[in-house]
Amino acid sequence: MPKIYFVDVTNRDGAQTARITIAKLQKTVINWLLDEMGVYQSEMGFPLSPHEWDYINANVALTKDTHENGPLIKRLQLSGWSRALADDVHQAQAHTDLKHFNLSISTSEQMLEWKFRHKFTREDIIKMMVDSVVAAKEGGAASIGVNAEDASRTDTDFLIEFAQAGMEAGAVRFRYCDTLGYDDPVRIAERVGLLAKETGMAMEMHCHNDLGLAVANSVSGALAACEAGVDAYVNTTVNGIGERTGNADLLSCILALKYSAKWGQNSFLDENLDLTKSWQLAKYVSQAVGVPLPINQVGVGANTFAHESGIHADGALKDRHNYELYDFEELGRGEHEEVPTGRVITTGVQGGTAGLEYVYGSHLDLAFRDKEHSQEILRLVQYANLHTQAPLTDEELWLIYYYPEQVRQIIRATP
pLDDT at 69 > cutoff 90: no
**Separation between Cα atoms, residue 266 and residue 99, nearest integer Å:** 32
**Chain centroid to CA 200:** 26
Q: How confident is the model at residue 285 (pLDDT cuts 50, 70, 90)?
A: very high
**Separation between Cα atoms, residue 108 and residue 122, nearest integer Å:** 9
The arithmetic mean of pLDDT across residues 351-375, rounded, is 97
In the three-class reduction of DSSP (H, G, I as helix; E, B as strand; rest coil), residue 116 is classed as coil
CA dihedral 145, 26, 94, 78 (to 10 degrees): -30
pLDDT at 68 > cutoff 90: no
**Separation between Cα atoms, residue 249 and residue 295, nearest integer Å:** 15
**Separation between Cα atoms, residue 131 and residue 189, nearest integer Å:** 30
Spelled out in words, what is the top-level CATH class assigned to the domain 4-285? alpha beta
The arithmetic mean of pLDDT across residues 122-133, rounded, is 98
Task: Report yes or no: 27 and 268 within 8 Å, Cβ to Cβ.
Answer: no
The arithmetic mean of pLDDT across residues 101-108, rounded, is 98
Per domain, the residue ranges of the chain are: 4-285, 353-410
pLDDT of residue 341: 92
DSSP structure string for 354-398 = HHHHHHHHHHH----SSHHHHHHHHHHHHHHHHHHTSPPPHHHHH
Identify residue 14 by its one-letter amino acid code: G
pLDDT of residue 301: 98
The arithmetic mean of pLDDT across residues 223-234, rounded, is 98
pLDDT at 61 > cutoff 90: yes
Tally of CA atoms within 13 A in the half-sphere of 265 that contains its CB: 3
Backbone angles phi, psi at 224, to 5 degrees: -65, -40
pLDDT at 415 > cutoff 90: no
| Alpha helices, DSSP H, located in 107-249 | 109-114, 122-138, 156-169, 185-199, 214-227
pLDDT of residue 178: 98
Q: How confident is the model at residue 67 (pLDDT cuts 50, 70, 90)?
A: confident
Q: How confident is the model at residue 170 (pLDDT cuts 50, 70, 90)?
A: very high
Please name which of 219, 301, 308, 214 lies closest in space to residue 263, comparing C-alpha atoms: 219
CA dihedral 364, 370, 371, 372 (to 10 degrees): -100
In the three-class reduction of DSSP (H, G, I as helix; E, B as strand; rest coil), residue 340 is classed as coil
The chain-wide mean pLDDT, for the chain, equals 97
State if pTM tops 0.85: yes
Backbone angles phi, psi at 203, to 5 degrees: -105, 140
**Chain centroid to CA 46:** 13
